[in-house]
Structure 1
Amino acid sequence: MRFLLVEDNRQLASAILDRLAIDGHVVDHAEDLATAEEYTSTTDYDLILLDIMLPDGDGRSFLNAERARGKNTPVIVLTARSEVSDRVGALDMGADDYIAKPFDFSELEARCRAVLRRRTGTATNTIRFGQVALDALAGTLSNGSKVIELRNRELRLLEVFFGAPGQIIPKSKLVDRLFSYDEDVSENAIEVYVGRVRRHLEGSDVSIVTVRGLGYRLAVP
């Protein structure tokens, strides 16, 4: 998944970035609203972690503007404010959840998973197609009787395909989902990861099909 973290506290931001990187997520970091707006104007994110008090304004104004533009990217508000009215206000503006500072990173991770499950309409961390099952929390792919431990980018690549079965996904979108702005990669890198994932799916009724000139498609029974 590709996240955007909008947080001006560099120490906290660094800790969050490190923790989410361990989980295999790609995270872009904006220290102010202007940078956040620049990022969201060019990139579609799976989730936004949004601080309220920022150097150039209130994070709630950014949230309100995103919703006014019709963007429904899930947003979790990070707030040091304990007043109920502040939390209710953020939720009424379109936030999907909030977490009060200081927080435990395991709780933040759990809230991210819960918000993403709600958006995809799933009640568990496991997605099944035919003979295979992807467990995003455990980081495994079950193919018949085999349970395969996935590397981070293999897991995130499968999440993209399993989230859009049957749809053609261009290489450029896969690069966008798997790599941050700081990483200089070519679309050829995607071919390497797709090759690895295809091997994991061998022998099952699920496959990744190349659509020449357009991208890839997850073929499911």
Structure 2
Amino acid sequence: MTSPGAGSPSTASSGCDTFWHGSAPTWLPVRARVRLRPPRGAGRESRRANESSVTRIYTRTGDSGETGLFGGARVSKDHPRVRAYGSVDELNAVLGLARAAGPSQEIDAILERLQHQLFDLGAELATPDAADRAGGHIARATPERVAALERDIDRFQDRLPPLRQFVLPGGTPAASALHHARTVARRAERAIVRLASSEPVNPELLKYVNRLSDLLFVLARAANHAAGRAEPTWTPSA
């Protein structure tokens, strides 16, 4: 694989999943062949000529039930690492549904930020080797990002009435989608825990996904509260 910025544009096709890498890597959860963006410092014409673009959606390289990880390794599509970043991809899609449901501008801005960060998480999970993560400048989960989630949780929690009963998922379309998202976040967390039992995983990544599910629960409550919608609560069976 040609290194970023080393002459002609390089491509990285994994069959099922493709990753940008170089100065601004991300993870594309689609079957595509992607041309890499040149690093900063490249000439203007070079940057324009090598602008990232999806040229083909299907590649046929995953037809045997395997997919490629960043760095070139081939694994089963049922591999714990693929399950982990696949769950993160699903979570990102559910956040898109939540945004389409029309939450407040404040919540929507947070969800957009989270979607970008989930792409970073997907890239990190799809990169098994630490050297590849460093060489490709993969954005990693950090204590700062975890702390930002905690600040969001505290800010919204302070505006909400205290919980006295268990809340049922529901209410407005946005709140319902956010409840759905928090359950997918928990599933993604379980998938990452499983991966961590057999391979090294950045501990901040686990913390991030854990806090993210908490934030999504608080945002679901906030969406109902902002709409003046009473939260459905659990009534124990007699």
Higher strand fraction (1 or 2): 1
TM-score, structure 2 normalization: 0.27
TM-score, structure 1 normalization: 0.28
Higher helix fraction (1 or 2): 2
Larger Rg: 2
